Amino acid sequence: MPKNYNGLIAVYKQRLQYREDKETRLKLAEYYYLANDYNSSLHYLSVLLENSPSEPAYLLQAKNLSAQHQYKSAIDAINMAISSNPKSGEAYNVKGIILSESGLLPQAKEAFETARNLYVKDDVINNNLAMVEIFSQRYQSAVRYLLPLYQRGYKDAKLTHNLVFALVKSGDYGYAKEIVLVENLAPYPDIFLEALADVSIQPYAPDGSVGQTVMLSGARENSESFIVPAQPSATPFIEPVVATPAKTKTVSVKPVEANEAGNDVVGLR
């Protein structure tokens, strides 16, 4: 359910107007970020970064910079967060997302593995590791990350969509169709799967265009995860951005953050 970020921004802005408080300022910057107003978020965050920098402030700075495609600066910020708290699984997960958006997939995988060792939730980290495999066109490896979670009962939209996509690209149409039917993902499963078979995915748009995004798991407040983008209706849930001469549809995917519930979006978490 979408939140009334405008209302929350007004509340925290009024509180900050009457009394300077680090937590209030951080919350205000966070709600601006969640409302996609990255410049305003960075503006209110700048006082914290200058006077009392902390891991949460650096994390939010990194997310804002990444959302603006300032990946080098975002990596600098997330490294500061890690320096502040080397045991932060969330910081390493966010670092993996930023590296993936930058197309640095081996480094992203290493960051996600570190996050995994720091006990980031299985559904978040396995989904993100699977997206690295999908970006690298190692679809069977992606299935090996996602299928055990699905079989254990993790069936949110992001994970299920990514699993179906990986199954189709690895040639297992039978199992993919079974999941589409069981989860009611599309009214015409065969057409849906044929459309997916013609889609290719890359971690970001080389020309810098926004295009279609791949999201991360959970809410944007906490841990994050990638997803194969889902369309609100029917077929396919991946929208082509560029059609290649070979009729292969290319989708630019961008990791996004996950919400606290962990089931708002599909993609990297």
Question: Residue 225 — very low, low, confident or very high, per pLDDT cuts 50/70/90?
Answer: low
- Record the pTM: 0.78
State how far the Cα of 255 lies from the Cα of 104, in Å rounded to an integer: 13
pLDDT mean over 239-251: 34
**Rg (Cα) of the chain, in Å, rounded?**
19
State how far the Cα of 127 lies from the Cα of 51, in Å rounded to an integer: 36
Q: Write the pLDDT tens digit of every residue in 11-70.
A: 999 999 999 999 999 999 999 999 999 999 999 999 999 998 999 999 999 999 999 999
Torsion, CA 265, CA 136, CA 183, CA 230, rounded to 10? 40
Copy the structure tokens of residue 251: 């989708």
Copy the structure tokens of residue 194: 């044929």
Residue 213 has pLDDT above 50, yes or no: no
State how far the Cα of 217 lies from the Cα of 130, in Å rounded to an integer: 12
3-state secondary structure the chain: CCCCHHHHHHHHHHHHHHCCCHHHHHHHHHHHHHCCCHHHHHHHHHHHHHHCCCHHHHHHHHHHHHHCCCHHHHHHHHHHHHHHCCCCHHHHHHHHHHHHHCCCHHHHHHHHHHHHHCCCCHHHHHHHHHHHHHHCCCHHHHHHHHHHHHHCCCCCHHHHHHHHHHHHHCCCHHHHHHHHHHHCCCCCHHHHHHHHHCEEEECCCCCCCCCCCCCCCCCCCCCCEECCCCCCCCCCCCCCCEECCCCCEEEECCCCCCCCCCCCCCEEC
C-alpha to C-alpha distances, 231 to 36, 45, 108, 134, nearest whole angstrom:
20, 33, 26, 19
State how far the Cα of 126 lies from the Cα of 139, in Å rounded to an integer: 14
Copy the structure tokens of residue 53: 């920098």
Q: Write the pLDDT tens digit of every residue in 92-133.
A: 999 999 999 898 999 999 999 999 999 999 999 999 999 999
**Domain parsing of the chain, residue ranges:** 122-204
Q: What is the mean pLDDT of the chain?
A: 81
